[in-house]
Amino acid sequence: MDAINPATDETFAHFDDMTDAQAKTAIAASHAAHLEWRKTDFAHRANLLRKAAKLLRERKREYGELMSKEMGKPIKDAIAEVEKCALGCDYYADNGAKFLSNQIVEDGKTKSLIAFRPIGVVLAVMPWNFPFWQVVRFAAPALMAGNGGVLKHSANVPGSAMAIEHVFEDAGFPKHLFRTLLISSRQVDAVIENPHIRAVTLTGSGPAGRAVASKAGSVLKKTVLELGGADAYLILQNSDIAFAASTCAKGRLVNSGQSCVAAKRFIVLKELAEAFEKEFVIEMNKAVVGDPLSMETTVGPMARKDLRDELHKQVTDSIAMGARLLTGGKIPPGPGAFYPPTILTDLKPGMPAYDEELFGPVASVIVANDKDEAVRIANDSPFGLGGGVFTPDLALGEKIAVEEIEAGLVFVNGAVASDPKLPFGGVKESGYGRELSEFGIREFVNIKTVVVAAHGTGAVTHHHIE
């Protein structure tokens, strides 16, 4: 595996791939470590998670620069990502025991309880766009729950993958409990089939999710999938246009536009469209595109040139079908996988910028005649990850967010973002299951029912009907 700087096209590191036999050995070692780890108490696990958080904070500049070099993340954002990983570790250290403590169910003379027990080694198949956070938000709750973990990371961030393994080992977690598998996608099926793997979590594309879920289903292993998104933000009557445009631009350009939960479609009422488009162009053009290692940069290169070229084709195909370009839309000269902040409007069904996820700094503006049509357009997508509503009427915004938008996360008057305290995940083709919060840590545990009755009393009277 080669690490290639997408800002310069330079190959700056090489990692040897694992063979199938080496991957199998690593999984066996993780399983063996888990068998002892599951016997530890929550206080011990929490102590090590806090040590991992401390190491992440101490190494945030080093790891931030690594992300910037491997996938082009602006260094300021990369450092913030490492800090968020530390926050996630601390969150589960502080709350894991509460989330997984036994729950007593009052049941007459018997003692009935619900226990949350570890299930074993969990495989994580992770993407390049948040190379630390995507992994830690799985690993922190999984390890706190008493599980082991193996990571198949994206091939263009091998250094980040190994760094995360080192963080947990350096923090004092048992050697091999969390392992990075430097393997190709074609080797994933064999890993899923391995009897020591008990479940799989994947963040990535729809095709990748379907492939992993199909294989896991064939061997009866649970999956959690966080897939693509085409998040719709509604700009409704009486909205503060300057505030909405500024927030929407930040939401669209987060991680240089390469986020499943980034703002992507902007559905604006007809009477507001002209004013919103004008302000939106101004805000998008405020972005500083350049060297990701510069603290002034807000938009770095895309992670790979093939991804940049695919995005550009979606833009040019949409324009050829009648979309109007408001800004951007041209590949800049020189090295690197750079693409400018871009806005398309006059979009209709059938255009790539209307129908498809645009995974880069390109915004789709869609005009609606009224609120009901705006909601219909928002839901007229195979995806359902995040969404937003801009309105001064907070009661209306909450009603739309709760009852009408088909998504796993909806923010009113703000840009969608993940938070360790809140569940994260989608519906429809954006996947299933949840990460983060108490719901995330309970995805990969055995929720076990235990009923205890005095011997010989005949106290258990549950009907024997399955």
Q: Tell me which amino acid residue 370 is.
A: D
Residue 38 to residue 412: CA distance in whole angstroms = 41
Residue 167 to residue 169: CA distance in whole angstroms = 6
User: Active-site residue among 85, 89, 248, 260?
Assistant: 260
Q: Tell me which amino acid residue 119 is.
A: I
Same domain, 181 and 148: yes
* Residue among 441, 356, 462 at smallest CA distance from 117: 441
Q: Please report which helix (H) or strand (E) contains residue 69, including its range.
A: helix 60-71
* 267 token code pair: 């559905």
Whether 466 is covered by a domain: the verdict is no
Residue 342 to residue 351: CA distance in whole angstroms = 16
Show the domain range for 385.
231-412
Whether 456 is covered by a domain: the verdict is no
Distances (CA, A) of 208 to 138, 170, 205: 18, 32, 5
Which DSSP string corresponds to 111-124? EEEEEEEE--EEEE
Same domain, 204 and 274: no
Annotated catalytic residue 226? yes
Count CB neighbours of 336 within 10 A: 21
**Dihedral sign, Cα of residue 149, residue 443, residue 382, residue 406:** negative
Count CB neighbours of 370 within 10 A: 13
Same domain, 446 and 379: no
* Residue among 228, 203, 289 at smallest CA distance from 253: 289
Length of the chain: 466
Same domain, 117 and 209: yes
344-361 burial, b if ≥16 CB within 10 A, otherwise e? bbbbeeebbbbbbbbbbb
Same domain, 324 and 177: no
Same domain, 439 and 360: no
Mean pLDDT by 10 residues, the chain (466 residues): 96 96 98 98 98 98 98 98 98 98 89 96 98 98 98 98 98 98 98 98 97 98 97 98 98 97 97 98 98 98 98 98 98 97 98 97 98 98 98 98 98 97 98 98 98 74 52
Whether 328 is covered by a domain: the verdict is yes
* Residue among 29, 388, 447 at smallest CA distance from 229: 388
Whether 462 is covered by a domain: the verdict is no
Same domain, 178 and 244: no
Same domain, 408 and 434: no
Annotated catalytic residue 260? yes
Whether 157 is covered by a domain: the verdict is yes
Q: Are strands 386-390 and 342-345 parallel, antiparallel or unpaired?
A: unpaired
Q: Are 174 and 148 in contact (CB under 8 A)?
A: no
Q: Please report which helix (H) or strand (E) contains residue 390, including its range.
A: strand 386-390
Q: What is the CATH number of the domain that holds 276?
A: 3.40.309.10
Same domain, 176 and 279: no
| Residue-wise pLDDT tens digits, 155-170 | 999 999 999 999 999 9
| Residue-wise pLDDT tens digits, 130-146 | 999 999 999 999 999 99
Same domain, 202 and 238: no
Instruction: Supply the pTM of this predicted model.
Output: 0.96
| Residue-wise pLDDT tens digits, 54-112 | 999 999 999 999 999 999 999 999 999 999 999 999 999 999 999 999 999 987 778 99
Q: What is the CATH number of the domain that holds 193?
A: 3.40.605.10
* 113 token code pair: 């309880």
Q: Please report which helix (H) or strand (E) contains residue 319, including its range.
A: helix 305-320
Same domain, 171 and 317: no
Which DSSP string corresponds to 167-219? HHHHTTPPTTSEEE----GGGHHHHHHSTTEEEEEEES-HHHHHHHHHHHHHT
Q: Are 367 and 268 in contact (CB under 8 A)?
A: yes
Q: Residue 256 gets which letter from DSSP?
A: G
Give the count of domains, the chain. 2
Q: For position 214, what pLDDT does the model report?
A: 98
Same domain, 170 and 239: no
Residues in contact with 381: Cβ distance below 8 Å, sequence separation at least 6, in sequence order: 230, 232, 265, 355, 428
Residue 63 to residue 247: CA distance in whole angstroms = 28
Whether 178 is covered by a domain: the verdict is yes
User: Active-site residue among 70, 81, 165, 226?
Assistant: 226
Q: Are 394 and 412 in contact (CB under 8 A)?
A: yes
Whether 283 is covered by a domain: the verdict is yes
Whether 418 is covered by a domain: the verdict is no
Q: Are 344 and 364 in contact (CB under 8 A)?
A: yes
Give backbone dihedrals phi and psi of 134, rounded to 5 degrees, phi first. Answer: -60, -35
